[in-house]
Structure 1
Amino acid sequence: MLRSLSFLIRRPFPVAPSPLFLIISIRRLDTLASPVPHPRRPSKNDAYFAAVHHIAGIVRSDFYLERTLGRLRLPPPTQDLVLRVLRDAAPSAPLSALRFFAWARSSSPSYRPSVAEFDALILPLARHRHWSRMWSLSADMRSLSLPLPPDTFAAVIEAYGAAALPDLAVDVFNRLPKFDCPQTTAVYNALLSALCLAGNFHGAYALIRRMARKQVPPDRRTFSVIVDAWCAAGKLRAAQEFLEEMNRRGFKPPVRGRDLLIDGLVNAGYLESAKEMVRRMTKEGVLPDITTFNSLLEALCKSGENDFCVDLLQNATDMGLCPDISTYKILIPAVSKLGKIEEAFKLFHSAVEDGNKPFPSLYAAIIKALCRAGRFGDAFSFFSDMKVKGHPPHRPVYTMLIKMCVRGGKFVEAANYLVEMTEMGLVPRSENFDMVVDGLKHCGNHELAKRMEQLEVSLRGY
């Protein structure tokens, strides 16, 4: 067959060379330093795949494809050739591919199609909503005693669900027994997905009960589909009960389903349930997604459970969870606000060791905690460390530090930071000047207060 298809690799007709061509060729021969390698001759496989591509192109674009294929004088089609052409043409032109399939069967009585060729046609026909032709092809398979592939019809049902056509998905599901196609777990899962996408949770739950009656064993995806859908719809308690049922039946719940449920519980304010779920996951050696973990930490920190968050982070990192900069962005300010400065420093150094470049707001949280504790020397030293290590402070950090210095009676240091701000091109607010000048006057440093007033006038221009 390969020899017969080689005519599709077109050869140019012999043409008499022009005088100019001969002159150029002679010059080439005179100046050639080394022989030019001959191009690789096409192999039989190249000719075969070129023929497949050529036929698929005819199927996709030729209105009179049967007549064109007949003129090519092709050898009798084989299962491999037909399958390759169908896989190439059917996704974009399923009706034309169906015509080619009919032509291949009629052109050679010896050709007997396999399940693979039917399979290559059924799903594209369904996706293009050619339902009657899909069922006609299924009946044709049955007449040839070929088994209908459940996985293909599961994909068809999912396609209906994605297209918001749950009634048609149910119709496909109900018709399968008439075609001796088993309703496998994959088929049930596909219908569950279609029903959940349509918001028909009663139907989905009824389908699960039917699975139990028909003794079709559920798998992890069965539960995952339900949990994902219920979480998306806000039915958190139902999803939680379903996960517990999974545990009772010996199924290990999917991590993604748990993550969705934790997110839903956090957003709904059910923090105790979310905490319990994370505890159970860590006991089982399963870690939540870092984004889910961070959302839980943020909610718990806002509710004042900072100690629990620190312990939870420690347990999770011991198990292999890799915190990201968002994790530290949540915990460091929360711990600093409680005055747990050593714990904040520990988290800060962990962030640096993990390869994160801490931004100014992380420094600011610890600096503020140090100032509140009266440890101004440590605060100034940490602020200098921030500048030395290439983290230029922005105006909010300076504003916070100046305010804390004024509250702590460090008026001269506050004035120095005002000058430093202006040297960096940051314009302090009027309130910053006012509080520093008032403080300097109150402690009797009128000369420095006057210089601060002159600095503000030079900046403001009045």
Structure 2
Amino acid sequence: MLYRRCTKHGALCFLLPRFHSSFPPLDSTPRTPKKITVPPKPRTRRPTSLVSPIAQVSDTVSPEVNLICSLLRKHSHQTLSFDNLLLRFRENLNSNLVLQILMNYRQLGRIKTLEFFSWAGLQMGFKFDDSVIEYMADFLGRRKLFDDMKCLLVTVSTRNGQVSCRTFSTCIRFLGRQGRIREALCLFKEMESKFKCKPDNLVYNNMLYVLCKKESSGQLIDLALSIFRRIEFPDKYSYSNVIIGLCKFGRFETALEVFGEMYRVGLLPTRSMVNVLIGKLCSLSTKEGEVVKVRVKSTGRPFTIIVPNVGVKSVTIQPAVQVFWAVHDLGLLPSSFVIIQLISELCRLGEMEKAVEVLKVIEDLKRSCLEECYFIVIKSLCKHHLVEEVSNLFGRMLSRGMKPKLSVYNSIICMLCKLGKLEDAEKVYMIMCKKRCLPDSLTYSVLIHAHVEARNWETAYGLLLEMLGLGWSPHFHTHSMVDKLLRENGKMELCYKLEGKLDSQILLKLCKESRLQAAYEKLNSMLEKGCCPPAYVRDAFEHAFEKCGKLQIANELLEKIDKYKRPEETN
């Protein structure tokens, strides 16, 4: 017998010797977005190379298959030997019959499936079709029986003469997935020398997949690049695996050179490669602009400080943009996350024209990231005070039925107020209220400051009252500006009314926070000034003290409030 039971793995180990063990120049003129359609994701598994699939067995199951499977399920080594059980089927064995039985492994179990394959191999001298060997290599790899998988290759090569490239690629891929990089590389090197099998693109691609995606030390990236150069006609998966590996280990210049070769050949890259290349370049650009170390030598004891790297143009964002337009010309776009990353980095660097061009491309495709990209570009345009561009993009957002975020409205209102365009700021504010986007304290503060500078006391006073009515506490500077403007215009009654509302707002906040001492002092000062809080504030004050068991302390002030109200009621 050529096999024995392995007690460690519960499998069959064959008793045979083991293995030892660059871009074309881009025009400076603005690009016209090219309308492309992104094909839907296929439901079937994508191929790793242009090779013929595994031969399919016929749909009709012969009676012999059902009979053999039934016998194997009931078989026990104690009742009858395995060879005697299947002796009558020896003459009818063929690759198709063996493959159909192997595909019933869910019914047979792992042990009996392996035992049947070993028995059939002995009867047929392991002269199976490639489909059977490929299936068994996949079967053993999925169950991490790598010793059996290696012995399978040796057994078949010594009996049948040659193993198919698909079988080698399957073995290499499973070894790489489990981190057995050296074993996969050893098997790849022995293909021609030991097994007399010349690797095809499928084998090369799986080897590159192992070296570039699964190997984490970076020591074999040069070997992966040399293997890539050995491929006579590399396909898109060959290029993509190498580029991902080069980006993974920081070899961006070489990655861009390889991508340039791929672009000139006209091969469509994989989406994962595009995401990795553009994403890594954008991340590198962000790191370049974060901070810079500056050595201060003007003092007696020199020291180093870290300051923001302001005003320094990134050298990696331009290649990222070139890659984006190159893959766009080939009919492909990166993922939504990478598009947002690219637009964000362009806006951070002030490359607004390029950011708008990228935005127009994804606008035609109705991508899920369109709204987020609009928000990023509009807020960046507001920082640069580009009113016309902001107006165009904001109008397109509304015409497409999008709902801008509060931060977008605030950015536009802040820009318009700084430029003195109060009427336009009021229009944006009205649109904001119409779209049911509630303003916050920043929205009111910006509008109030702008109207105070324009000496519009009525509008400033109305906005401040509206702000207090919504529960927003204005900054002290905001209140003092409005108060000063009202006094200049002789509106003392409004000043007292505004002061009372502000004190009531502060008192209500102190009661909610259970700051009893501060709330007591605040109410006392209000009563000394002759200001009586509203009924809901009085109730909140009483409830806060009652909750803490100190209602007796608050009764003195509550009685004063009642005295203020009685004359008003009699009048």
Q: TM-score, normalised by structure 1?
A: 0.75
Once the two structures are superposed, the pairs formed by residues 215-254 of structure 1 within 5 Å of their partners are 216-249=232-265, 251-254=267-270
Match of 1:341 in 2: 387
Q: 1:18-53: CA deviations, max 9, x gaps?
A: xxxxxxxxxxxxxxxxxxxxxxxxxx9899799599
Give the deviation of 1:374 after TM superposition: 1.9
Match of 1:31 in 2: none
Match of 1:100 in 2: 116
Match of 1:115 in 2: 130
Give the deviation of 1:449 after TM superposition: 2.2
Query: Is the 1:127–1:156 Cα contact (8 Å) retained in structure 2?
Result: no
2:404 is aligned with what amino acid? P
Once the two structures are superposed, the pairs formed by residues 7-86 of structure 1 within 5 Å of their partners are 58=73, 76=89, 79=95, 82-86=98-102
Deviates more, 1:193-202 or 1:220-229: 193-202
**Whole-Å separation in 2 of the counterparts to 1:56 and 1:457:** 92
**Whole-Å separation in 2 of the counterparts to 1:376 and 1:436:** 17
1:372 is aligned with what amino acid? K
Deviates more, 1:326-335 or 1:158-167: 158-167
2:151 is aligned with what amino acid? S
Determine which of 315, 318, 327 is the counterpart of 2:373: 327
Match of 2:184 in 1: 169
Give the deviation of 1:221 after TM superposition: 1.0
Determine which of 277, 281, 287 is the counterpart of 1:261: 277
Residue 417 of structure 2 is aligned to residue 364 of structure 1: no
Once the two structures are superposed, the pairs formed by residues 379-398 of structure 1 within 5 Å of their partners are 379-398=425-444
Give the deviation of 1:130 after TM superposition: 2.8
Query: Is the 1:363–1:386 Cα contact (8 Å) retained in structure 2?
Result: yes
Match of 1:135 in 2: 150
Secondary structure at the aligned position of 1:179 is classed as coil
1:294 is aligned with what amino acid? I
Match of 2:398 in 1: 352
Going from structure 1 to structure 2, the CA distance change for 1:187 and 1:413 (only over 3 Å counts) comes to same
Going from structure 1 to structure 2, the CA distance change for 1:406 and 1:82 (only over 3 Å counts) comes to farther
Match of 1:307 in 2: 353
Going from structure 1 to structure 2, the CA distance change for 1:160 and 1:358 (only over 3 Å counts) comes to same
Going from structure 1 to structure 2, the CA distance change for 1:405 and 1:211 (only over 3 Å counts) comes to same
Going from structure 1 to structure 2, the CA distance change for 1:399 and 1:230 (only over 3 Å counts) comes to farther
Match of 2:196 in 1: 180
- Paired residue total: 414
Query: Is the 1:224–1:253 Cα contact (8 Å) retained in structure 2?
Result: yes
Match of 1:271 in 2: 317
Query: Is the 1:192–1:226 Cα contact (8 Å) retained in structure 2?
Result: yes
Match of 1:160 in 2: 175
**Whole-Å separation in 1 of the counterparts to 2:495 and 2:114:** 91
1:119 is aligned with what amino acid? E
Give the deviation of 1:98 after TM superposition: 1.1
Secondary structure at the aligned position of 2:160 is classed as coil
Match of 1:25 in 2: none
Q: 1:405-436: CA deviations, max 9, x gaps?
A: 44444443233223323444545455543443
Going from structure 1 to structure 2, the CA distance change for 1:229 and 1:111 (only over 3 Å counts) comes to closer
Determine which of 226, 230, 233 is the counterpart of 1:209: 226
Percent identity between the two aligned chains:
24
Q: 1:100-147: CA deviations, max 9, x gaps?
A: 3234557x8799744333322213323444333222222332345375
Going from structure 1 to structure 2, the CA distance change for 1:428 and 1:66 (only over 3 Å counts) comes to farther
Q: TM-score, normalised by structure 2?
A: 0.62
Give the deviation of 1:455 after TM superposition: 0.9
Match of 2:21 in 1: none
Query: Is the 2:133–2:167 Cα contact (8 Å) retained in structure 1?
Result: no
1:340 is aligned with what amino acid? L
1:455 is aligned with what amino acid? K
Going from structure 1 to structure 2, the CA distance change for 1:440 and 1:82 (only over 3 Å counts) comes to farther
Give the deviation of 1:443 after TM superposition: 4.5
Determine which structure has the larger helix proportion and give its number. 1
2:200 is aligned with what amino acid? T
Query: Is the 1:150–1:183 Cα contact (8 Å) retained in structure 2?
Result: yes
**Structure 1 unaligned blocks of 5 or more:** 1-43
Query: Is the 2:211–2:224 Cα contact (8 Å) retained in structure 1?
Result: no
**Whole-Å separation in 1 of the counterparts to 2:79 and 2:397:** 68
Match of 1:459 in 2: 505
**Whole-Å separation in 1 of the counterparts to 2:279 and 2:103:** 41
Query: Is the 1:90–1:121 Cα contact (8 Å) retained in structure 2?
Result: no
Residue 340 of structure 2 is aligned to residue 294 of structure 1: yes
**Whole-Å separation in 2 of the counterparts to 1:217 and 1:109:** 37
Query: Is the 2:417–2:446 Cα contact (8 Å) retained in structure 1?
Result: no
Q: 1:78-114: CA deviations, max 9, x gaps?
A: 75564345345389965542123234557x8799744
Give the deviation of 1:168 after TM superposition: 0.8
Match of 1:420 in 2: 466
**Whole-Å separation in 2 of the counterparts to 1:305 and 1:200:** 36
**Whole-Å separation in 1 of the counterparts to 2:97 and 2:78:** 16
Going from structure 1 to structure 2, the CA distance change for 1:255 and 1:130 (only over 3 Å counts) comes to closer
**Whole-Å separation in 1 of the counterparts to 2:484 and 2:78:** 93
Q: 1:160-199: CA deviations, max 9, x gaps?
A: 2222221011122123232333311111121122222324
Query: Is the 2:359–2:374 Cα contact (8 Å) retained in structure 1?
Result: no
Give the deviation of 1:225 after TM superposition: 0.7
**Whole-Å separation in 2 of the counterparts to 1:145 and 1:258:** 43
Going from structure 1 to structure 2, the CA distance change for 1:145 and 1:70 (only over 3 Å counts) comes to closer
Larger relative contact order (CA 8 Å, sep ≥ 6): 2
Q: 1:269-320: CA deviations, max 9, x gaps?
A: 2223333444544556654444323222212222222234224434x25875
1:245 is aligned with what amino acid? E
Match of 1:448 in 2: 494
Give the deviation of 1:380 after TM superposition: 1.6
Going from structure 1 to structure 2, the CA distance change for 1:416 and 1:151 (only over 3 Å counts) comes to farther
**Whole-Å separation in 1 of the counterparts to 2:477 and 2:492:** 18
1:246 is aligned with what amino acid? M
Query: Is the 1:79–1:111 Cα contact (8 Å) retained in structure 2?
Result: no
Query: Is the 1:57–1:89 Cα contact (8 Å) retained in structure 2?
Result: no
